[in-house]
Each structure stands twice: as structure tokens, then as C-alpha cells.
Chain A
Amino acid sequence: MESSRRSFLKIAGISALGLGAKPVLDVMASSGEAAKPETIRDPKALLAKRWGMVIDTRKLQTEEDLKPMIDICNKIHNIPHFENHLHEIKWIWSEEFENDFPMQEADFLDDRLKHMPFLTLCNHCNVPPCVRVCPTKATFKREDGIVMMDYHRCIGCRFCMAACPYGSRSFNFRDPRPFIKKLYTGYPTRTKGVVEKCDFCAERLAVGEIPACVEVSKGAIAFGDLDDLNSEVRKLLRDNYAIRRKPALGTGPSVFYIV
């Protein structure tokens, strides 16, 4: 049987068209059946426009006062403890005034402030420099103002650590798991080679609980919506003088300290 190239191409073309049409028809035939699965928010979740924190340092005078907050955070987020301070992982820790508030020191700072420990954590900046530099969008700012990390995506380049002016980020130089005193099964650990930091207990907010450090602070820390005029944090800020860390950098920290 003789067949020209032309007729072969014709038949091949029509066959290809026929094969291509089948999946399209299948999709059309199956549309409008069972309900599609969907993902939703927990109705109990706490929502805000811009989460913020006000720490009343008058109620947190000594390391002893800070301990419960630091301990609970370390426990429920599986923070490892390394003897070598170069490997240290910190989400929330204590710092002296001169380290937390450089350029805001008065010449003759009063004794109470000078040697008092300040509770220090990620500021969840309004204009977060760490988010700008992250090459993989592993760090991002949520709509409610929380600066979040997606550990799955972090490639460990540590640009964010260089960008953060507050030292709020830590890098896992080693596998953290063997250095966690007691594994808490409600939260994952991290792995070697990723950066981590405080996330305002996003996992607790999602199920309607306030951050753990706020819960155990006996009222020394207030947490709420900075965009809501009637929120507890805004009321505290209206009635008290509060400072923020390195305000001149323009990062707009969401953590305030009443001094």
C-alpha cells in the first residue's frame, strides 16, 4: 500500500487531536459531583490586623521573674540547649538595657534600669528587614503582622540573621534533637541548617490561645491588636510611656517596653 507523507501526517494529526480530547471530556463529565475538600481556619482562632506585645518591665525586675516565660517557651517549642554559646538557639531570652536599647541610654541611667534584665524576643517588625533579604521566602510577614518562618523552605543562607538588627534569629549549626532535654510532641523540632526564631506562638493563636509567655506572665505582658484602638495593648500604650528597640532603624517593632 502506497501512502504519501502528506496523508500520513493528516492521519497522525487527527489521531493526536482525538487522544487530546479525551482528558478534556473526562474533566467536563466529572465536574459538579461531590463537594471539593477545602481547608479552613479554626473558628476559635484569634485574629488581628497587627499583633503586638507590651512588656511591663516594672513587673519583671529580676532573672527569676523572667524565668517562667523563657522556660515555657523553650519547652513547648523544643528549643535545644547547647553548652557552646556560639551554637545557642534563642527565641526569648534576657538582655541588659545597654544591649537592648543602644543609643537610648541616658548618661546617668537610673540604677534600676541599668542592671535589670529585659525580656527580649523577635519584634515582629512592621517593616521586617529579614523578610526583604530572604531569597526563598522562607521568612514572610503574615497578614496579621506576624513574621513567620517556613522551616521547610529555609536553605540556611543566614541572610536574615545578618539583616535582623535585634539578634532575634539563631542558626542550627548542629542537629538540635539530641540537645533537647525533653521532646515535646505537640511541636516539631528543627533540623541542622535552618534558622529559627520566635513566631508569637502562631500555632497557639490558631487554636484560640494566647502566646505561652503571655499566659505565664501573670499580667506583666499584654498581647493584642495594635490596630485596634480599644485593645488592651493600645490602652496600655496610651496610659504609659513605652520604648521600642532601635526605633531609628525604621523597622517598626511590634514589641513595646514600658519602663
Chain B
Amino acid sequence: MSNNKKMYDKGKVIAGLCIFLILITFPFWYNLGKAAPAPKLTLTAKAKAAKQCVLPTQTMKADHMQLLNEWRDSVVRDAKRIYVSSDGKEYHMALTNTCLDCHGARAEFCTKCHDYASVTPYCWDCHIDPKEVK
């Protein structure tokens, strides 16, 4: 009875566990030190002059996708096309003609971060970046 705690096939089991651990952590140590630097956004002169977007910068960074969805529904469904921000400024809710007008080319502003975050929104399948039009 005292030998009850004996482990069978000790060598094989531990070796197997080691291999398993190495394999499952492979992506972590393989990519160690190779992290892409977070992209730095350069604001256009126009955006800098405006100082603030339609919402505080932090909110825009985190929640612009929700805002764009709300804008889309408001424009398409309710025919309400003007956004009045909390400081009373009015904006036409338009991806191409308002957002890009201030923020410049989408490759510089949108795609940089989206690539970094590995998201591929399909806004530009339909909406047009005037700078990409020949």
C-alpha cells in the first residue's frame, strides 16, 4: 500500500508534458521581441486646427465604430444627416466628405491602426476615398 503513489511511465509522461508545453507556447517565444511598434498617427493640419473631433479623442479611439454605426442608421433610416455635438457644433454625417475631409487619406489614418489591430472593416468597399480616385 505504501507504493501507491508511484507514477507509471514517469519518463515518458514528463517528456511528453515538456514537448506539449513547448509546442503550446511556441507562438509566444517565437514572436518574442518581434512585436510591431504601435502605429503613430499623424494628424492633418486641418484636424490639428480643429483640436477636437466630434467626441473626445479617447472616446473616438475606443468607440468610433459604434458612432459610425449610429451615424449610418441615422442617415439611412431616419434621414437625419446632421450631428450636433455636445459643444453645439454641427457636422454632416458622412464618412468620405466629413471624416476623411479632416483626417486625410484613409491609408494614413484608418488602415494603419486597423492593420495593427488586425481588423478588416469593409467600409471602403463602397465608400470612396477621394485621394485614391485617379
Contacts and interface: CB of A to CB of B under 8 A. Distances in A.
A34 B79 CA distance: 26
Contacts of A148: 76
A70 to B, nearest CB: 22
B58 interface: no
Interface residues of A: mostly helix, strand, loop or mixed? loop
B10 to A, nearest CB: 38
A17 B80 CA distance: 41
Of the listed residues A36, A39, A189, the one surrounded by the most CB atoms of chain B closer than 10 A to its CB is: A39
Contact of A183 (B70, B79, B83, B133): B133
A13 interface: no
A38 B79 CA distance: 13
Interface in B74-104: 74, 76-88, 93, 96-97
B127 interface: yes
B126 interface: yes
Given A37-B55, A191-B122, A206-B81, A185 B96 contact: yes
Of the listed residues B80, B87, B128, the one surrounded by the most CB atoms of chain A closer than 10 A to its CB is: B128
Nearest to A148: B76
A166 interface: no
Band of interface residues on A: 20 to 34
Given A151-B126, A190-B126, A41 B96 contact: no
Interface string A196-234: 000000100111000000000000000000000000000
B82 A39 contact: yes
B125 interface: yes
B80 A39 contact: yes
Contacts of A34: 86-87
A42 B81 contact: yes
A175 to B, nearest CB: 8
Contacts of A42: 81-82
Contact of B79 (A37, A142, A190): A142
Contact of A41 (B76, B82, B87, B126): B82
B101 to A, nearest CB: 10
B125 A41 contact: no
B52 to A, nearest CB: 12
A37 B86 contact: yes
B79 A188 contact: no
Given A183-B133, A188-B127, A39 B74 contact: yes
B110 to A, nearest CB: 15
A237 to B, nearest CB: 26
B112 interface: no
B113 interface: no
A142 B87 CA distance: 31
Interface string A171-194: 000000000000101101111000
B55 A41 contact: no
A68 B10 CA distance: 86
Interface of B: 54-55, 70-72, 74, 76-88, 93, 96-97, 122, 125-128, 130, 133
